[in-house]
Amino acid sequence: MHRPNILLILTDQTRLSAISSYGDTPCRTPNVDRIRDKGILFRNAYTSCPLCSPARASIMTGQFPHNHGITANVGDLGCMLGNLPDSPELLSRRLERAGYACGYSGKWHLGDHHERWRSNGYIAGDPALGGCTLPRDVGFQGQNFAGHGGGGFKYQEYRDYLAEHGWEHRPVQKDGYTFLDQPAEATVPYFLADHTIGLIDRMVTEAREKPFFMWHNFWGPHEPYLTTDECLDMYRDVAMPEWPSFRWPAEREPGPHAVKLTHSGADKPAWSHYEKLLRQYYGFMSLIDAQIGRIYDHLERNDLLRNTVVIFTADHGETLGSHGGLMDKGFHHFDEIQRIPFIVRMPDGSRAGEEMEEFVSLLDVYPTVLDYAGTSYNEAHADGRTIRPLLEGAKSGWRDQIVVEFNGVNGGLATLRTIRYRNFKYGFSLGWPEQLYDLDRDPDELHNLAEDAAFADVVRDMRSRLVNWMEETHDGAILLARGAMQRSDGMRRRQTTESRI
């Protein structure tokens, strides 16, 4: 295969139940399913960090957050860097040197204007502190949106698009739902897909023999879960099955997850409250899915699919009431925020419809894209590895464990590290009890086995694996983790001794 075009589609805050290819779910995503039908689906894909900026920086660098420095959302307490620094090691810069035209659409969240600090004069006049790194600063052509974007509604480019067509952004409330009283063509997802289609055409025309790398980023289905009335209607009368973990006693179980509870004890909303949110969330995902279909159809009509690798994935997952009513992401070790959809369609459609159980990481996007682009990368620099061998049928020597890190969000700092080895998942949260789950017997992660004497050897093995990983990847939290693990082990030994007396 000569060097292919590469299309990376990234959705925002997408739990597996929002993708119909991943199992029994009310959510309908027929266009993602089309990619899956002609591609390879990975069942055990994990984010590098269940938070927007750190995960996106991992795609650009192939590194864990503690190595690339975007350790929290840019502009937030706990983020070591305010912007993603330009570097020849960035994905876009390496592709640029390899002769690729690089295009960008949608949410960036790797550069912030820092208006809070600029307004008080603290960083005024210092470009090193006050600069804002955006896509066009690092080798992309296309859209250039600073900050989080909050759904993309306030950017002037989108407002100009609405004005040009005589539309308005009009969220309305009715019967307990919030939705958009406007045609699909007037929504942010449609606007972004329009931009991507036009940019692909421009890159193909202007670059001629150059292949393209197109990174398309949606702002959803991250909240606010705003979709059209038509997409919401797909779910209004559909019963949403209660999460198996919904009745887990979140307020009684010790752990940092409590900061993501929106209630306390008896104030916990009934399942019907979360059902409505899920209908909006799934409606939003179906709106996004339709725009994925438009991009895919455009590639097909223009005979581009036969030389394009298509990668569909997400930055991280979403809770939406699971594990006792948790909302949003971060501050816990559960699969609903850590596992992500990951589907790859090869240009020739080879191995269409296959599924793989191997562990893959969002970190693997960087080396995989560069591998297919036919260019090298500094393997000592990257924490991920190319999945090209897996895609082409070679499984021997693949990783048997995978790690996720989290350092805090919204001004709350935390040190969480999760390691999955075979069927066991171990969660380390600095200052909180350890967690251990057997995902074969307990896929919903309801029963913490860390204090069960029958699993003491498993806990020790998982600790050792995590510490080894921290050493190998130069994780600065290793000293704190070692100390906490030693104290925990000492307490366990004392309790065992006392029980025998």
> What is the tens place of the pLDDT at every residue in 335-368?
999 999 999 999 999 999 999 999 999 999 999 9
Q: How confident is the model at residue 127 (pLDDT cuts 50, 70, 90)?
A: very low
Closest CA to 488 of 444, 456, 465: 456
Q: Which pLDDT score, from 0 to 100, does residue 113 have?
A: 57
pTM: 0.95
pLDDT at 118: 55
- Tokens 């960035």 sit at which residue? 90
pLDDT tens, residue by residue, 170-229? 999 999 999 999 999 999 999 999 999 999 999 999 988 899 999 999 999 999 999 999
Q: Specify the higher pLDDT residue, 120 or 19.
A: 19
| Tokens coding 276 | 């409505």
Q: How far is CA 456 from CA 137, 431, 447, in A?
A: 51, 20, 15
Domain 5-394 shares a fold with domain 411-500 = no
Does the structure show a pLDDT above 70 at 117? no
Sign of CA dihedral 74, 80, 81, 87: negative
Residue 208 is predicted with a pLDDT of 80
pLDDT reading at 464 higher than 50: yes
Q: Name the amino acid, one letter, at 77.
A: L
The domain 411-500 is placed in CATH, from the list 3.40.50.720, 1.20.120.550, 3.30.1120.10, 3.40.50.1820, at: 3.30.1120.10
Residue 262: the pLDDT is 86
Better-scored residue on pLDDT, 395 or 282: 282
Spatial contact of 300 and 349, defined as CB atoms under 8 Å apart? no
What does the alpha-carbon distance between residue 257 and residue 268 come to, in Å, rounded to a whole number? 15
Report whether pLDDT(38) > 60: yes
How confident is the model at residue 126, as a pLDDT?
42
Given a cut of 80, whether residue 409 has pLDDT beyond it is: yes
Q: What is the pLDDT of residue 1?
A: 57
Which pLDDT band holds residue 490 (cuts at 50, 70, 90)? confident
Output the pLDDT for position 496.
60
- Residues 467 and 461: their CA atoms lie apart, in Å, by 10
**CA 104 – CA 215 distance, rounded (Å):** 5
Average pLDDT over residues 392-419: 95
Domain ranges of the chain: 5-394, 411-500
> Please, are residues 217 and 106 in contact by the beta-carbon 8 Å criterion?
yes
Contact in structure between 13 and 6 (CB atoms under 8 Å): no
List pLDDT tens digits, range 466-478: 999 999 999 999 9
**Whether residue 221 has a cis bond before it, omega within 30° of 0:** yes
pLDDT higher at 112 or 311: 311
The Cα–Cα gap between 365 and 458 comes to 31
Confidence of residue 499 (pLDDT cuts 50, 70, 90): low
Supply the mean pLDDT for the chain. 94
Average pLDDT over residues 405-409: 97
Cα separations (Å) of 244 from 429, 452, 481?
A: 24, 23, 31
Instruction: Give the model confidence (pLDDT) of 16-37 as tens digits.
Output: 999 999 999 999 999 999 999 9
Please report the pLDDT score of residue 2 as a whole number. 82
pLDDT bracket for residue 144 (50, 70, 90)? very high
Q: Give the domain 5-394 fold.
A: Alkaline Phosphatase, subunit A (3.40.720)
Task: Name the strand (E) or helix (H) holding 342.
Answer: strand 342-345
Residues with Cβ < 8 Å from 68, sequence gap 6 or more?
A: 54, 57, 58, 60, 61, 84
What average pLDDT does this structure show over 278-285? 98
> Does 231 have pLDDT greater than 70?
yes
pLDDT of residue 115: 55
Per-residue pLDDT band at 131 (split at 50, 70, 90): low
